């Protein structure tokens, strides 16, 4: 590893969704001169979302990628130094903290704001990736609207899947819910609601074999794991609701996390178990996972970082 390029900054922001960019806006206005590394997916999950209709301030809605460009432009206008690069390793044992970018460049930072987000878990089918954005989605709340009065399928058995199936049932004619086992993992109250909804049809002990369609989603082929019987269900939309994976691997061993890998923060703050390291957005939020809540927590992280640096006499 090359250590020839070492750079020292006051505030380093890792990640570039609504949380990262909002943190950059606030940190810039506080004269922290933040450097933000965008990571593997500049703009985060919203860049694979088409229409965003639930973010305040956009009465006609906005395209997800366009909104993230606007967030980035606003952060740049405030003076944030926004760079392309991926944080690949950290050392939080001594201050200033050390963060490696793309395995070669070394950054030293007095305060670190983590906004690395979470990624939707996928089934791992070739057809799922090929048709992603063409009827295949991992967010019913984001994309359900586009399937009004159509038939859709959803795969999953937890609270999120149940919640999204109920949401889709209000928009779509029929929701075909594909459940891998003979029961759901969802809470009793959510299961009861799903079972009481007449236009949700549940397929127990079923696995998705293939999503069918050339240019767009047209059907899904499922297999009953007990009888081996295969069924083709014509659908216009296919929603994957099997959970999210927080992008927190490089912080393992340093920061407190829950069993799923979400970074734990002190309630009501963005503070982690290491002073001067703050976490915001979906990497620490498994409950709400919305652009507006991520942006709010990015603001909290920047304000927490500013107070921390001020108290330490570093700002």
- Catalytic positions are 139, 142-143
How crowded is the C-beta side of 1, counted as CA atoms within 13 Å?
12
Q: CA-CA distance, 184 to 206, in Å (whole number)?
A: 12
DSSP state letter for 262: P
* Parallel, antiparallel or unpaired: strands 219-224 and 151-155: unpaired
CB atoms under 10 Å from CB of 174, counted, come to 16
Distance of CA 260 to the CA centre of its chain: 14
CB 248 within 8 A of CB 272: no
Q: CA-CA distance, 23 to 274, in Å (whole number)?
A: 19
96: preceding bond cis by omega (within 30 degrees): yes
Q: CA-CA distance, 235 to 174, in Å (whole number)?
A: 9
């Amino acid at each position: 590893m090359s250590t020839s390029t070492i750079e020292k900054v006051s505030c380093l922001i890792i990640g570039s969704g609504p949380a990262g960019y909002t943190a950059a806006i606030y940190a810039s206005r506080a004269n922290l001169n933040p450097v933000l590394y965008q990571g593997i997916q500049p703009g985060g999950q919203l860049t694979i979302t088409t229409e965003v209709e639930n973010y305040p301030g956009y009465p006609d809605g906005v395209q997800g990628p366009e909104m993230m460009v606007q967030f980035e432009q606003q952060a740049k206008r405030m003076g944030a130094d926004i760079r392309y690069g991926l944080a690949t390793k950290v050392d939080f044992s001594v201050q200033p903290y050390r963060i490696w970018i793309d395995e070669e460049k070394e950054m030293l930072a007095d305060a670190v704001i983590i906004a690395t987000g979470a990624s939707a878990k996928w089934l791992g089918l070739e057809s799922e990736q090929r048709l992603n954005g063409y009827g295949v989605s991992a967010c019913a709340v984001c994309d359900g609207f586009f399937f009004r009065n159509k038939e859709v399928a959803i795969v999953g058995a937890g609270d999120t899947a149940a919640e999204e199936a109920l949401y889709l049932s209000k928009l779509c004619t029929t929701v075909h819910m594909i459940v891998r086992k003979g029961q759901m993992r969802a809470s009793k109250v959510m299961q009861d609601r799903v079972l009481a909804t007449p236009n949700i049809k549940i397929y127990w002990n079923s696995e998705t074999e293939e999503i069918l369609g050339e240019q767009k989603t047209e059907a899904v082929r499922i297999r009953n794991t007990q009888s081996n019987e295969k069924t083709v269900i014509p659908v216009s939309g296919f929603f994957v609701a099997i959970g999210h994976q927080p992008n927190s691997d490089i912080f393992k061993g340093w920061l407190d996390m829950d069993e799923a890998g979400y970074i734990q923060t002190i309630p009501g703050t963005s503070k982690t178990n290491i002073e001067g390291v703050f976490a915001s957005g979906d990497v620490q939020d498994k409950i709400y996972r919305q652009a507006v809540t991520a942006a709010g927590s990015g603001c909290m992280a920047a304000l927490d970082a500013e107070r921390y640096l001020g108290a330490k006499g570093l700002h």
